[in-house]
Structure 1
Amino acid sequence: MTIRSFIGAAGAALAIATAMPAAAHDPGGVVTPHFEKAIPNIPGKTLTALIVDYPPGGTSAPHRHADSSFIFAYVLSGEIESKVNDGPTQTYRAGESWYEPPAANHLISRNASKTKSAKLLAVFVADTDEKELTTNIE
């Protein structure tokens, strides 16, 4: 085997190995930080806004929100299915919103459509020293 064919085979194996885990899971949402600012009249609290872009059929892993975080969620476009704690699974459309209490378990968060993208604004009010606003539930 020549060095050229060895490098080519190794590159192909690496490409296949890295593509397989992505193909085995649903595509996730892309989270983009949008705004973060300490709240001046509430010492120790910070307001953080994130944009979550879901591709068609996109989903987020079940996750838990920080113990100090109160969340307001607003659908910017498309439709989002959501289930928080023991509540029902609900579908929210563009212009609709909901809230999540501190330490909530967000068990379902996904694009309701398999053909159209969806976008969500998530606004957190949390302790300024809170390091992780979300952690995946195993």
Structure 2
Amino acid sequence: MTIRSVIAATGAAIAIAIAMPAAAHDLGETVTPHFEKAIPNISGKTLSALIVDYQPGGASLPHDHAKSAFIFAYVLSGEIESKVNDGPTETFRAGESWYEAPGSAHLVSRNASKTKPAKLLAVIVHDSGEKDITTPHE
């Protein structure tokens, strides 16, 4: 699994090649592959990291995560609103974090501010052969 397909959706299908510059989306977000490495002591697993920059008022489209993808999200700056599965919509500030269990539906992911940018680090442990880590929510 390469980072090319890790983001196959913070909404639409947006496969990203590692050699490409940051990808901009029409919802006011930019997803940048940051790191990817097979985990040497866990056969068949890869760790990937992505930076998600949200413009003021920016958002990701609702999306589902692969059954192999465990996600740790950490707010680097600003405030991010997030809703996973049937949980409440919560606001996380810089320095705060949450996780998403494998197979989760990420129904809300957006900048809580209409005037300031926000930035998120997503760290994902997934099957090395997984084709689509994220797909549009149906």
The answer to whether the superposition gives a TM-score over 0.5 is yes
Rounded Cα–Cα distance in structure 1 between residues aligned with 2:137 and 2:27? 18
Q: Please list the CA deviations of residues 22-41 of structure 1 after superposition, one character each: whole Å capped at 9, or x if unmatched.
A: xxx97231100000000000
Match of 1:102 in 2: 102
Matched-pair identity in %: 76
Match of 2:34 in 1: 34
What are the ranges of 5 or more consecutive residues in structure 1 without an aligned counterpart? Answer: 1-24
Give 4+ residue runs of structure 1 displaced > 6 Å after superposition. Answer: none
For residue 71 of structure 1, report the CA deviation from its aligned partner: 0.3
Rounded Cα–Cα distance in structure 1 between residues aligned with 2:134 and 2:69? 9
Structure with a larger share of its residues in helix: 1
For residue 131 of structure 1, report the CA deviation from its aligned partner: 1.1
Match of 2:21 in 1: none
For residue 61 of structure 1, report the CA deviation from its aligned partner: 0.2
Do residues 90 (structure 1) and 90 (structure 2) align?
A: yes
Q: 2:122 is matched by which residue type in structure 1?
A: A
Rounded Cα–Cα distance in structure 2 between residues aligned with 1:26 and 1:108? 16
Greater relative CO, 1 or 2 (CA 8 Å, sep 6+): 2
Q: Please list the CA deviations of residues 99-132 of structure 1 after superposition, one character each: whole Å capped at 9, or x if unmatched.
A: 0000000000000000000000000000000111
Structure with a larger share of its residues in strand: 2
Query: What does 1:40-119 correspond to in 2, within 5 Å?
Result: 40-119=40-119
**Do the aligned partners of 2:28 and 2:56 also contact (CA within 8 Å) in 1?**
no
Give the structure with higher Rg (CA): 1
What are the ranges of 5 or more consecutive residues in structure 2 without an aligned counterpart? Answer: 1-24
TM-score by length of 1: 0.80
